[in-house]
Structure 1
Amino acid sequence: MYKLCDEQLITLFKKGHSSALEELVHRHKDKVFTSILLLVKDSFLAEDIFQDTFIKIIDTIRAERYTEKGKFLPWAMRIAHNLCVDHFRKIKRTPMIRTGDDKDIFDVLGFSDSCAEEKLITRQSHDRVRRMLDMLPEEQREVIILRHYAELSFKEIADLTQVSINTALGRMRYGLINLRKMMTEKQICL
């Protein structure tokens, strides 16, 4: 079933094949979960929002309201992002993309190195990048995370964050300039 496209899996799920939904979840779980975790910075909360995301997806598909032909992942990411925003609205604080939780996000992404020394070097580099990302303004952090970790296009990022494509591109540009500046000032080598 892994050779079927997302649309074919959705059609099969509508016809009662639950394994099609399992394949969709398995295919996209890493990107959706990672994006949620990067936004909420709490693995337990991220798991809850991840589950809520797929419950909403299931409900929408079953109610015949799914209209995003060929764009399942961006649609799922938009649902996840909106649920994160809703969570922060409920607790009346803005989402901060910070590190410091016990879970290493780069382990979630499935990086694997062949020896302990390489793992240590990779982890140290990732820690440096995360600390520098934390120093960026929220809008710049969000665009960089959605582009590099969730692998969304700038159009998808613009739609998700409700800004123009030029604004999303500008935020990315300034975020990268700021990261380079931090690396130069602190003489950080990745």
Structure 2
Amino acid sequence: MRKNLNPDGTLVSEYINGSEHALEVLIKRHQQRLYSFIYSKVQDRDITEDIFQDTFIKVIRTLKKGNYNEEGKFLPWVMRISQNLIIDHFRKSNRMPSFKNTDEFDIFSVLSDGNLNAEKKLIKEQIYSDVKLLVEELPEDQKEVLIMRMYKDMSFKEISENTGVSINTALGRMRYALINLRKIIEKNKIILVN
């Protein structure tokens, strides 16, 4: 793998310290990948161009305010910004379902629809990545059951056999995991509500 002359982190620091050229290098370095990513979601060149520009406006503002702290993870951070802008675009054009966080709300019901159009698929991906981060905050036993069930698609019988607990205990842990996840979601205001 060819090493970049200057790692992203170095260029970010140089830009924060006043080097406009460092930002140009960063934009050129990631332009193609970011542009392709945005286009794959919106399927429109003009909208892609707008979102691409808005992404870097947001990047510049964040860097200038000194709010950037993603050590060495510049590209994933920029991709997240563009993904949020894509979601905003779909929300503004009323093409995105909103998820109300009610007592009946089950985060995973959103993830199980097999007939997802591009926008819903994007929301699904966004929620999945948000949820994956939040799952890390769960107690170990709940996290284990939830990962086996949701990400490894294991039955409660299989989970019971793998963890050495009864099916009822596995079900209970899953229930508590979902309750705690909902609390974490509310605390982090993850759900997109119109």
TM-score of the pair, normalised by structure 2: 0.52
Structure 1 residues 47-89: Cα deviation after superposition (integer angstroms, max 9, x where no partner): 0000000010001001000011111010000000000000111
State the aligned residue count.
Answer: 117
CA contact under 8 A between 1:13 and 1:19: conserved in structure 2?
yes
Match of 1:137 in 2: 116
Shift of the alpha carbon at 1:31?
1.2
Deviations 1:18-61 (A, max 9, x none): 11001100111111111111111101100000000001000100
Letter in 2 for 1:88: F
Moved more, 160-169 or 34-43: 160-169
Structure 2 residue aligned with 1:164: 132
Deviation, 1:164, is 2.5
1: CA distance, partners of 2:76 / 2:126: 11
Output the CA distance in 2 between the equivalents of 1:58 and 1:168. Answer: 36
CA distance in 2, matches of 1:19, 1:90: 34
CA contact (8 A) 1:78 1:160 kept: no
Q: Which amino acid aligns with 1:8?
A: T
Residue matched to 1:82: 84
2:73 maps to 1:71: yes
Higher radius of gyration, 1 or 2: 2
Identity %: 38
User: Residue 38 of structure 1 corresponds to which residue in structure 2?
Assistant: 40
Contact 1:37 1:46 in 2 (8 A): yes
Paired letter, 1:20: A
Q: Structure 1: how far apart are the matches of 2:14 and 2:29?
A: 15
Question: With structure 1 as the length reference, what TM-score do the two structures score?
Answer: 0.53
Structure with the larger RCO, 1 or 2 (CA within 8 Å, 6+ apart): 1
What is the CA distance between 1:94 and its match in structure 2? 2.7
SS in 2 for 1:163: helix
Distance in 2 (CA, whole Å) between partners of 1:142 and 1:36 is: 11
Counterpart residue identity of residue 52, structure 2: F
